[in-house]
Amino acid sequence: MNTEAQEMERIFERPRALRSATTHYCPGCGHGITHRLVAEVIDELGIRETIVGVAPVGCSVLMYNYFDIDMFEASHGRAPAIATGFKRARPDLPVFTYQGDGDLAAIGIAETIHAAARGEKFTTIFINNATYGMTGGQMAPTTLVGQKTATSPTGRNCETAGYPIKVCEMLATLDAPSYIARVSVSSAKHVLKAKQAISKAFQLQLKGFPYTFVEVLSPCPTDWHMTPQEAVEWLEENMFPQYPLGEVKAPKEGV
Amino acid sequence: MNTEAQEMERIFERPRALRSATTHYCPGCGHGITHRLVAEVIDELGIRETIVGVAPVGCSVLMYNYFDIDMFEASHGRAPAIATGFKRARPDLPVFTYQGDGDLAAIGIAETIHAAARGEKFTTIFINNATYGMTGGQMAPTTLVGQKTATSPTGRNCETAGYPIKVCEMLATLDAPSYIARVSVSSAKHVLKAKQAISKAFQLQLKGFPYTFVEVLSPCPTDWHMTPQEAVEWLEENMFPQYPLGEVKAPKEGV
Amino acid sequence: MSESKTQKKPKRARIAIDEHFCKGCGLCVDNCPQHIISISGTVATSGYYPAQCPDPENKCTGCTLCARICPDVAIEVFKAKKVDGGAH
Amino acid sequence: MSESKTQKKPKRARIAIDEHFCKGCGLCVDNCPQHIISISGTVATSGYYPAQCPDPENKCTGCTLCARICPDVAIEVFKAKKVDGGAH
Amino acid sequence: MEKLFMTGNEAIAEAAVRAGCRYYFGYPITPQNEIPEYMVKRLPEVGGVFLQAESEIASIFMVYGAAGSGARVMTSSASPGISLKQEGISYIAAAELPCVIVNMMRGGPGLGGIQPSQSDYFQATKGGGHGDYHLFVLAPATVQEAADLCLEAFDIADRYRNPVMILGDGVLGQMMEPVSFQDRRPAADLPEKTWALTGTKGRAANVVKTLNLDPSVLEKHNLKLQEKYKRMAKEEVRVECYQVDDAEIVIAAYGTVARIAKTAIQALREKGIKAGLVRPITLYPFPYKTFADIAPKVRKILTVEMSLGQMVEDVRLAVGDKTEVCFFGRCGGIVPGYEEIVVEVEKLTAKVAR
Amino acid sequence: MEKLFMTGNEAIAEAAVRAGCRYYFGYPITPQNEIPEYMVKRLPEVGGVFLQAESEIASIFMVYGAAGSGARVMTSSASPGISLKQEGISYIAAAELPCVIVNMMRGGPGLGGIQPSQSDYFQATKGGGHGDYHLFVLAPATVQEAADLCLEAFDIADRYRNPVMILGDGVLGQMMEPVSFQDRRPAADLPEKTWALTGTKGRAANVVKTLNLDPSVLEKHNLKLQEKYKRMAKEEVRVECYQVDDAEIVIAAYGTVARIAKTAIQALREKGIKAGLVRPITLYPFPYKTFADIAPKVRKILTVEMSLGQMVEDVRLAVGDKTEVCFFGRCGGIVPGYEEIVVEVEKLTAKVAR
Amino acid sequence: MNGKSIYTSVIMAGFGGQGLMFIGKLLAYSAMKRGLHVTWIPSYGPEMRGGTANCTVVVSSEPIGSPVIQKPESLIVMNNPSLEAFEPRLKAGGLLFLNADLVTRPATRTDINVIALPANDEAVRVGEHRAANMVVFGAYVARGGILSRDDVAAGLSGLFGEKAASKLEVNMKAFDAGVKYAQAAPARA
Amino acid sequence: MNGKSIYTSVIMAGFGGQGLMFIGKLLAYSAMKRGLHVTWIPSYGPEMRGGTANCTVVVSSEPIGSPVIQKPESLIVMNNPSLEAFEPRLKAGGLLFLNADLVTRPATRTDINVIALPANDEAVRVGEHRAANMVVFGAYVARGGILSRDDVAAGLSGLFGEKAASKLEVNMKAFDAGVKYAQAAPARA
Ligand SMILES: Cc1ncc(C[n+]2csc(CCOP(=O)(O)OP(=O)(O)O)c2C)c(N)n1
Ligand SMILES: Cc1ncc(C[n+]2csc(CCOP(=O)(O)OP(=O)(O)O)c2C)c(N)n1
Ligand code: SF4
Ligand code: SF4
Ligand code: SF4
Ligand code: SF4
Ligand code: SF4
Ligand code: SF4
Ligand SMILES: [Mg+2]
Ligand SMILES: [Mg+2]
C-alpha cells in the first residue's frame, strides 16, 4: 500500500471551498452534489476569498456551515433582493444565491423576476426538487401534475392547483439575463454537464454579464418517499419531460 | 330640434354598469376609456348583477365609485390573491381584477403569476401606462428604456434599471391561462379591438375557462408630461414596438 | 372643401357632449373622421374647456368613434332612425 | 466474467470512501461503470451502512464518476502517476 | 363525548371545520404544518376548499377575498409568516372582515428557530401592522381549549366583524392530547352579512374597502373601530383565576406557560407558599380589571412568559403601583420547567419575607 | 451656516448622504416620495446607488444585503409599506445589521389615507415584527431636527448594530422649513465592522444570519440583544422638556404634535394656565425616567397624539399611579389645531380646580 | 401673538399649474432670507388630479408650532372650487385675495376683507400671461406688511438662480401690478 | 405527585423510522382510553433529517402541566446519539430502556436503572423485524406499572383500526417478548 500510494496521485478530492463537515442532508440528496459543484467552480475560478453567497430558507439554509466562504442567510424567498443590495454595494465581488423551488418559485418569484429583469450581476443556483424539502414535503410550484405531496395527498390536481412553473422559460422572456440553463444531478453524466453550466454562469458573471441562472433538477428521496435510487429514476422519468435540460439562453459570444 | 330628436335614436350612451359620476382621472387618461369598455362588456354579457370586481391601488383605486357593481378594494398588488379567495368561495360569480403596471408587474407580480399558474378562473385587466400614475410618475417595470420618470430623471438606464417586462409573454410561458392578449386604447380603432379582447376574456371566463388576461396600453398624459394628443402619439410610436399588440394565447376553439 | 362637399346634407346623426363630464382632452377631436369636433373657448363650470360639435353642415355620420375614444363618457351619439314601413 | 476479464490487472486507480461522511445512499454503486462499489453490511458510527470498494481485481479506472455523484463528498479518487522520464 | 387524540394543530383545524369554516389558505411553516395538512384532507369532505398559496402575503389576501364573500375562512402560520401578513391584517381589520388567523409562535427574531415561543405578544395585541386597529386575540393552553376557542373564534369574528387571532406556540401545535368536539352551529344572534359581496342583484352595490381620502371620514371610521374594541372589552374578556383567592403571590401567564405555572403552583403550595395564577385567555381584550382587582390583595405578581417581557407591560398597566410586577422569561425556544418557576417564586417570596 | 429651504423628506435624504449613506432602496408611496426622488439625483453625485425596488419587501432585504457589506444604507416608506417590511425588520434586528428606516406615517389602518398620522407608534416601538427585538426610534419635530437626527441615526445604527427608525409623518415629510447641515463624519469611536461580508481573504468566513436551531443558543442571542437595548436605554434616551419646571399640567407629545403643543402651551400660559411639554425624541428607548420624575410634581399628564392612543401606554407605564394620565387624539389624517389642545387642557384643569 | 412679534398664516389655493405652490414658496423663502421662521406645506396626494392644489405658509418671528392651519389669516384663491373649500376657513377679519378673472362667484362672507383683482388681465398686460400668480402675490404682499419689494426680488432671484434675470424682471412687473391694484382697491369690510 | 395519584413521564428517542413516535402515541392513547390525562409531544423540525427523533409522553391522573419534560422518569433509547443526548437528562433513580442491538456503548450514569434488551433480535424472533419498538415498549410497560397488557392491546387496535388484526397479533407478541425480558432482567441500580 505504501509504495502504491507513492505512485498514486489524488485526482478527486473535497474542494477547498467546502468545509470538512458532515451535512444534515438526507442520504442521496441533490443539495450535497450541487454544493460540491458550486464549491469546485469557486475553487477553479480562484474566487473563494472574494465570493459572497446567499443561502435560502429551505433544506440548504445551513449551507454556510458547509461552504468556507462569506455568506448571508436570507429570509425565505428574498435571496435575490439581498444579493442585489450586496452586489450594488460591492460590484467588485462575485455573488451568488442558492435557492430551492419553494423559496425561488413560490414566495420569492417576484424578487427573482425583478433581479433578472434588472439584470443584476449575480448568479442564481436554483434547486428544483419539486417539493418543499425542509418543511416536510409540501407541494411546490414545480411539483408535477399528479405528484403526491403533503399538501396534494391525492396528487397535484391541475384543475385546482394549476400546472408547474417552468422558471427558466419564464425568465427567458426577459431581456436582461445573459445565461439561463437547466441541468440535472441525477447521474454522474448529468453532474458533469451541470458543473459546466454552473461554471459558465460564474464565468459570465466575472466578465460582467448580467444575471446568470442555473436550474438544477435535484432528487429529494425523503420527501418523495423513495430510495435514492428510485428518486433519481423518478426524476429522469418524470421531471425530464416537464423540464427539458439545456441552455435556454446564452450569450452569442462563447465564454 | 324637437322633431329631429324624435327621429333620432341613441346609438351610444353611458353603459348601465358605469355610474353617472365624474371621474378623478386626468383629461385624456386611458383608465376612463378602459373603464367604459369593461362596463360595456358587463352590460352586453348581462352580468352586472353577478360580477364582482377587484380594484387595485393606483390611479384607479376609486373605480368602485364609478362602477355600479360589487367591488373589493385591494391592497397594492394583491388583487389576484383577493380574486382567488373570492372566486374559490363563489365559483358561480364572474370576477375580474383591474390593475396598473406598478400594482401588477412590480409589487404584485408574484400574485399574478401564481394566480395564472393555478389557472384561477377570473379575468385580469392590466393597465400598462409605463409609469406609476398615482404616486406621481415613478418608474414602473414597464417603463421603456430611456423614458424619463420621477425616479429615472435622466431616462431609464438599462444598465442599472434593467429592461421593461413583457407581462403577456411572460404569462404565456405558463400552461394554465386560457387567454392572453395585448390591446391599446390610443385611438378609436384600437379601442374597438380592445373591447373585443375584453369581451372575449369575460366570455371565456363565463364558459369556465381558466385565467384570462388583457393588457391595455394606456396613456398617462399627466405623468408623461404631455398633452393627451402627444400621449397617444408617444404611446403608438414607442410602446407599440416594445409591446406588440394581439392575442398571445387563446383557446383553439373560437368563442 | 369643394362646393359639393360642403353642401348641406340632411342630419343623419349627431352627438351630444355633456359639459359636466367633458375634460377637454381633445381625443374626440382627433378621432372624428369628419373633423367636426373642436375645443370650445369658453371654460365650463368644471374648469375645463369642453369639446363642442356644432356640425352646421350635418357631416356627422354617427360612427361613434368620438364616443369610443372619450375617456369621460361625455359623448352620446344619436342616429336617424331608418324610415321603414313600420309602426311609426 | 470471462477469464481474461477477471484477470488481475495492475492497480491503475483506486478510491477512498470516508465512512465518516458516507450516508450509504448507494448512488456511487449505481454510477460506477465497473460495478465495483457495494454497500457494506456493517453499520458505521454515523448510523449508516457505508459504501465500500474493495476492488480486488483492480478494475477501478479512476473515472471519478462515483465521486462526482456522491452527495456527501465521501469519495476521493487516486490514479497512478504516469511514469515519465521526469524528475522523480 | 368521544375523546379523540389529536395535536393542537389538528384540533384547531377540526374545530374550524365544525365551526363552519370552509376555506383555508396558507403557506407551509413549522410548527403549524399539521393545520394545512389536515385541512387539505378534511375540507373537501365538507365541500370546502383548501388552497396552498404562494406566500403568506397571498394567503392573507385570499382570506380577505373569501371573507368578503361572507364565508368563514381561516389561515395559519408561525412567527415570520405572521410578520409578512401584517399589511393584510391591517387591511382586514380596516375593512372589518371576519376571519380567523392562527399563529403558532416560534423563537425569533428573524428566522430564529422553530421551537416554541411567546415572543409575538406585542405584535398580536398592540398591532404589528400600521394604524389604530386591534385583533381579537385568544390564547388557549390545552388542545381541548384550542378546539373550544377555535369553535368560538368564528362567532366572535362574525359578531364584531373583526379578525380573530388564535395565539399558540409550538408546544400547543405539536402536542397531542385528548380532545372532544361539540358540534356547534354559528350563534343564532349573529348579524347578517349584508355587507358581503355577492353580486348586486336586488340591492345597491357593496364595496369592501379601506381607503378614506377624506380625513374626517377616516377619523370617523377609526372611532367606530375604537367603539367596537371597547365593546369587546366590555363583553368578551376571558380569564382564568386559579387558586387566587388566598394567594400572596400571583403568577400571570398565558398559553403553554400557564399550564406549566399550574404545576409550579401545586409544588409551591406543597411547600407552603400561597401562589395563584391569573391566566388571560383573551390577550386582547386584556383582563385589566382582573389584575387591577387582585393587585391590592397580593404581595407581588410574577409574569412568566416564553419571551423577554411583553405581556408584563399589560400587567403593569393593569396594576399601576398597586403591587410590584416582576418578570421571569425564557426564550428562543426554551420551554421553562415548572421547577424554574418555583425557584423564581421562592426568590421573590424570600425577599418578601425579609 | 447657510440656510436651505427644504421639505422634511429632502432634508432627511440630504442628511443621510452627508452621514455617508451611499445606498438607498425603496418603493414609492405617499407622503415620502420626495426621499427617493431626491436620492435618485443626489446619490450618483457622490458615487452612491439609488435603486427603486419592486416592492417594500424587496427594498428592506436589499437594505439587509447592502448593510451586510458594511455600507451605510437606508430605506423609506409610509405606513402600509412599513407593515410589509416587518419580516425584514425583524431579520435585520436579529442579524444586528445597522441601517436607517424612515416611516412617514399616514392614516391607517389598511390603505387608510395619505394624510399625516402617528398611528404606527406601537409598530415602531414594540416591534411590529415577530420576536423580542427593538428598533431604535427617533421622532423629529422640525425639518432641522429631522436633518440632525438623520445625521446621527447612522452613527447610532453602527454603534449598536441596530436598525434605526426615523418616525415622522406627512406633515414633517411634506413641510418646507429652513435647514442647515453640519458636515458630519461618522463618529471616531464606532466599532469596526469586522462582521461585514467582504470575501474571506485573510480571515475566517463571516456569516450574516439569524437562525439558531439550538434554543439555548437562540436564547443567548436574545439575551445579548436585550443587553444592547438596556445599554441604549442607559446611554441614548433623548427628550425635550419645555416649560416643565413650574408646570401643573404636562403635555406628552412627539413629532408634529409636539410642536403644535408648544403653541398651545404658549396660549395656555397667556391664559394663566401653567402647562409644559415633555417631548420624547427617542421613542425607543423611551424617556420613562423623565416622566417618572415629573409625575409627582404635576397634576395631570395629557398625552396628545395623532392616533387613538398608543404612546399613552408608555407614559402610563412610566408614571404608574403617581399622576393621572389623560389622552387626547385625532386620527385618520387630521392634524389637531393648537386650539383643540388648549380646550382639552382647559377641560382638565377645570376638573382639577373643582 | 404679542405686539412686536410677527406671525401670519396664509392658504393659497387654485388649480394645479397656476403657480400657487410657487408663490407660497416665494413667500416663505423670502421671509426666511429675512431671518424669520417659516413653514410651507402643500396639499398632497391624488386629490390633486384635476382638483385643487393648495399650500399653507406660516411666517413668524418665533419658532412655528403647526404648519397646518385651520383658520388662516389670509387666503389667496385662484378658482371657484377653492373658494368653495376655503372661504369658510378664513379667520374672521382676514384677507381674501381673489383672481377675479377666474373666480366667477362672489365671496359670501361679510366678516372678511376681499381684494378681488383681474390677475390674468394684469399678467397679460405686463407681457407674461402665466404670471397671474405674481399679480395676486403682489397684492398679498402689499396688504400683508411683512415683506418689502426688495425681499421679494431677492427671494425670486434666490429661487430662480442667476440665469433668469429676464424672468425675474417680468415677474416683478406682475408683482408691481398687483401691489398697485391692492393699494388702490377698496377692501370690502 | 401524592401517593394515590398517577404521574409519569418518558422520553423515547432514536432514529426516525424506528417507531418511537408510534409507541409514544400508543402509550398516551392507551392511557387516555383508561381515563387518564395524557400528553404526547414530538421533537420537530429539520433536526430530524438524518438525526434523532424523539417524543415525550406524560401520563397523569391530574391535568398535566408541561408536556415538555426536562428530567423524565424513564427513557427509551434506540441509538447511540440518543443515548448521548438524553442520558444526562434522566431523573436520578429513573429507568433507562436500551435497545442493546443498536446502542453499542453502555450507559455511564450510576444513579439510574438500566434495562438493556436485544430488541431487534427479539423482534426477528417473533417474526416482525420492524417491531423492535414494541419489544422495548413491552419492557417499559412491564416496569412502568401504569398500563396493563389489555390496555395496550386495546390501544393498539384503536390506533390500527379494525382491519389490522394480524398486525395486532405480531405486535403483541413482540410486546410480550419485551415484558418477559424486563421481568427477567436484573436492573442495574
Ligand atoms: C416567511 C416564511 N415562510 C415559510 C417558511 C417555512 N419554510 C421554510 S423552508 C420552506 C420551503 C422549502 O422548500 P424549498 O425552497 O423548495 O427548499 P428545499 O427544502 O426543497 O430545498 C418553507 C415554506 C419560512 N421559514 N419563512
Ligand atoms: C404597499 C404599498 N406600497 C406602495 C403604495 C403606494 N402606491 C400607490 S399606487 C402606486 C403605484 C401606482 O402605479 P400603477 O399600479 O402603475 O397604477 P397607475 O396609477 O399607473 O394606474 C403606489 C406605489 C401603496 N399604497 N401601498
Ligand atoms: S428533505 Fe429532501 S431536499 Fe431536504 S435534505 Fe432531505 S432529501 Fe434533501
Ligand atoms: S396620473 Fe396618469 S394614470 Fe393617473 S389619472 Fe392622471 S393620466 Fe390617468
Ligand atoms: S359620431 Fe363620428 S362623425 Fe359624428 S362626431 Fe363622432 S366621430 Fe365625428
Ligand atoms: S374625448 Fe370626451 S372628454 Fe375629451 S374632449 Fe372629447 S368629449 Fe371631452
Ligand atoms: S473511479 Fe470510476 S471505476 Fe473507480 S470506483 Fe469510482 S466510478 Fe468506479
Ligand atoms: S454516493 Fe457517497 S454517500 Fe452515497 S453511498 Fe456512495 S460514498 Fe456513500
Ligand atoms: Mg424544494
Ligand atoms: Mg401605471
Q: Are E124 and E167 in contact (CB under 8 A)?
A: yes
Do G44 and F174 count as a contact with CB atoms less than 8 A apart? yes
Q: How far is CA E138 from the centre of its chain?
A: 3
> How far, in Å, are E177, E275, E302, F126, H65 from residue E264 at the CA level?
20, 9, 12, 30, 8
What residues does each domain of chain C span? 18-79
> How does strand A179-184 pair with strand A246-249?
antiparallel
Q: Are F124 and F163 in contact, with CB atoms under 8 Å apart?
A: no
Strand ranges, E, within E66-215: 73-77, 99-105, 136-138, 163-169, 176-179, 207-208
Largest CA-CA distance found in chain H, in angstroms, rounded: 45
**pLDDT (mean) for C3-28:** 85
Q: What is the CATH number of domain G7-182?
A: 3.40.920.10
In angstroms, the separation between the Cα of residue H50 and the nearest Cα of chain A is 6
Q: What is the DSSP letter of B253?
A: S
Stretch H19-23: mean pLDDT, rounded?
94
The domain ranges of chain H are: 7-182
| Ligand 6 centroid from CA A164, angstroms | 46
* Side chain identity, residue B176: A
- Listed residues: CB within 5 A of ion ligand 9: A 100-101, 129, 133
For residue F210, give how far its alpha carbon lies from the nearest alpha carbon of chain H (Å). Answer: 16
Q: Residue written as cell 433668469? A: G164
What is the residue-wise DSSP string for B76-129? TT-HHHHHHHHHHH-TTS-EEEEEEHIIIIIITHHHHHHHHHHT-S-EEEEEE-
Q: Whose CA is nearest to atom 8 of ligand 3?
A: A29
Strand pairing partners for F50?
A: F24
> Cα–Cα distance between F246 and F265 in angstroms, integer?
13
What percentage of chain B carries pLDDT values higher than 90? 96
Q: Tell me the domain boundaries of chain E.
A: 4-235, 239-353
Tally of CA atoms within 13 A in the half-sphere of F7 that contains its CB:
23
Residue D27 beta carbon below 6 angstroms from any ligand 8 atom: yes
C-alpha distances (whole Å) from C52 to each of B22, B26, C63, G33 are: 18, 19, 16, 50
CA-closest residue to ligand 3 atom 5: A25
* Chain F to chain H Cβ contacts (< 8 Å): 3
Window 25-84 of C: residues touching B by CB (8 A cutoff) are 25-27, 30-31, 46, 48, 62, 64-73, 75-81
Ligand 4 nearest atom to the CA of residue B58, by list position: 4
Cell numbers standing for residue G97? 385675495
Is any Cβ of chain A less than 8 angstroms from the Cβ of B35?
no
For ligand 6, mutation pick of C70, C76, C77 (most atoms within 8 Å of CB): C70
* Helical residues (DSSP H) of H115-164, grouped into ranges: 119-126, 132-144, 149-160
CB contact (8 A) between residue G79 and residue C23: no
Q: Whose CA is nearest to atom 3 of ligand 6?
A: C22
pLDDT one-digit tens code per residue, A180-222: 999 999 999 999 999 999 999 999 999 999 999 999 999 999 9
For residue B83, the domain's CATH number is 3.40.50.970
Q: What parts of chain D have a pLDDT lower than 50?
A: 1-4, 85-88
Is F145 an interface residue toward G (CB < 8 Å)? no
State how far Cα A5 lies from the chain centre.
36
Summarize the confidence of residues A47-58 as an average pLDDT. 98
- The rounded distance, in Å, linking the Cα atoms of E67 and H134 is 48
pLDDT-wise least confident of B164-173, E46-55, H62-71: H62-71
The pTM of the whole model exceeds 0.90: yes
d(CA D7, CA D22): 30
Q: Which three cell numbers stand for residue E146?
A: 384550542
Q: Are H16 and H48 in contact (CB under 8 A)?
A: yes
Complex ipTM value: 0.96
Residue A85: inside a domain, yes or no? yes
Give which of F28, C33, C31 is closest to B28, Cα–Cα: C31
Grouping H, G, I as helix, E, B as strand and the rest as coil, residue G186 is coil
Q: How far, in Å, is the centroid of ligand 3 from the Cα of D59?
A: 33
Q: What is the pLDDT of residue H81?
A: 85
Q: Tell me if D29 CB under 6 Å of ligand 7.
A: no
- Residue whose C-alpha cell reads 428607548 in the numeric block: F285
Question: In the beta sheet, which residues pair with residue A48?
Answer: none
Of F171, F176, F339, the CB nearest to G28: F176
B186 lies in which domain range?
Answer: 23-249
Contact exists between H and A (3 or more beta carbon pairs < 8 Å): yes
Length of chain A: 255
Is any atom of ligand 6 closer than 6 Å to the C-beta of C68? no
Query: Using a 6 Å cutoff on CB, does residue B130 contact ligand 4?
Result: no
Atom of ligand 3 nearest to the CA of A25: 5
- Which helix (DSSP H) or strand (DSSP E) does residue F167 occupy? strand F163-169
Asked if the model's pLDDT at residue A6 lies above 60, the reply is: no
Q: Is the pLDDT at B151 greater than 90, yes or no? A: yes
Average pLDDT, 10 consecutive residues per value, chain F (354 residues): 94 97 98 98 98 98 98 98 98 98 98 97 96 98 98 98 98 98 86 98 98 96 98 98 98 98 97 98 98 97 98 98 98 96 96 55
With CB atoms and an 8 Å threshold, state whether H80 touches D45: yes
CB burial class (10 A; 0-12, 13-18, 19+) of residue A242? middle
- pLDDT, position G184: 83
What separation in Å is there between the alpha carbon of B223 and the centre of ligand 2? 13
DSSP state of B18: B
The band of A252, judged by pLDDT with boundaries at 50, 70 and 90, is confident
For H72-112, how does the pLDDT look when each residue is reduced to its tens digit (9 = 90+)?
Answer: 999 999 998 899 999 999 999 999 999 999 898 899 999 99
By the CB < 8 Å criterion, does E194 face chain B?
no
Cα E164 from Cα E285, distance rounded (Å) = 11
Chain D, nearest residue to H15 by Cα? D47
Give me D10's grid cell. 495492475
Strand ranges (DSSP E) for chain B? Answer: 8-12, 52-55, 70-73, 95-100, 123-128, 179-184, 212-217, 246-249
Among chain B residues, CA nearest to F109? B75
Tell me whether residue B217 is in a domain.
yes
Please work out, in degrees rounded to the nearest 5, the angle formed at the alpha carbon of residue E296 by the alpha carbons of E167 and E326.
50
User: Which of F76, F82, F84, F86 minimizes the C-alpha distance to F33?
Assistant: F76
* Subunits adjacent to chain H (3 or more Cβ pairs under 8 Å): A, D, E, F
* CA–CA distance, B61 with F80 (Å, rounded to integer): 15
Taking CB atoms and an 8 Å cutoff, what residues of chain C touch G79?
47
Q: What chains are in contact with E, requiring at least 3 Cβ pairs below 8 Å?
A: A, B, F, G, H
Q: How many domains does chain B have?
A: 1
Q: What is the pLDDT of residues B175-209, one digit of tens each?
A: 999 999 999 999 999 999 999 999 999 999 999 99
pLDDT of residue F2: 87
Cell of B135: 404616486
Sheet of strand A212-217, all strands in order from the earlier edge strand to the far edge: A246-249, A179-184, A212-217, A123-128, A95-100, A52-55, A70-73, F207-208
Tell whether ligand 1 has an atom less than 6 A from the beta carbon of residue E82.
no
G50 and B59 within 8 Å at the Cβ level: the answer is: no
Chain E nearest CA to F331, separation (Å): 5
What letter does residue F288 receive in the DSSP assignment?
A: H
> CA–CA separation, F13 vs F24, rounded Å?
9
C18-79 CATH: 3.30.70.20
CA distances from D23 to A22, D28, E320 (A): 10, 11, 60
On whether the CB atoms of residues E332 and E109 are closer than 8 A, the answer is no
Give chains near D: 3+ CB pairs under 8 A: A, H
CB neighbourhood size of B153 (10 A): 11
CA F211 to CA A59: how far, in whole Å? 13
User: DSSP strand E in E225-274: where?
Assistant: 239-242, 249-252
CATH number of E239-353: 3.40.50.261, 3.40.50.920, 3.20.20.80, 3.90.1640.20? 3.40.50.920
Is the Cβ–Cβ distance between F116 and F170 less than 8 Å? yes
DSSP letter (8 states) at residue F187:
P
DSSP states along E266-313: HHHHHTT--EEEEEESEEES--HHHHHHHGGG-SEEEEEESSSSSHHH
Cα E227 to Cα B87: distance, rounded to the nearest angstrom: 32
Q: Report the distance separating Cα H44 and Cα G105, nearest Å.
A: 75
CA distance E76 to E51: 12
User: Could you tell me the three cell numbers for F138?
Assistant: 427617533
pLDDT digits (tens, 9 = 90+) for A141-190: 999 999 999 999 999 999 999 999 999 999 999 999 999 999 999 999 99
Q: Which residues of chain E have pLDDT under 70?
A: 351-354
Nearest to F141 by CA among F348, F346, F317, F306: F306
What is the chain G residue with the closest CA to B221?
Answer: G49
B-chain residues within 8 Å CB-CB of C48?
27
Q: Is F246 exposed, middle or buried (0-12, 13-18, 19+ CB in 10 A)?
A: exposed
Three-state DSSP class for residue G120: helix
CATH numeric code, E4-235: 3.40.50.970
CB atoms within 10 A of CB D5: 9
Q: How far apart are CA E43 and CA E50, in angstroms?
A: 6
Does the pLDDT value for residue H3 go beyond 80? no
- E strand or H helix at C78: strand C75-80
A137: left (phi over 0), alpha (psi -120 to 50) or beta: left
- Enter the C-alpha cell of residue F235: 446611554
- Facing residue for B72 by CB, picked from E87, E197, E201: E197
Q: Kindly report which listed range (A3-12, A50-59, F51-60) carries the lowest average pLDDT score.
A: A3-12
Assigned domain for A184 exists = yes
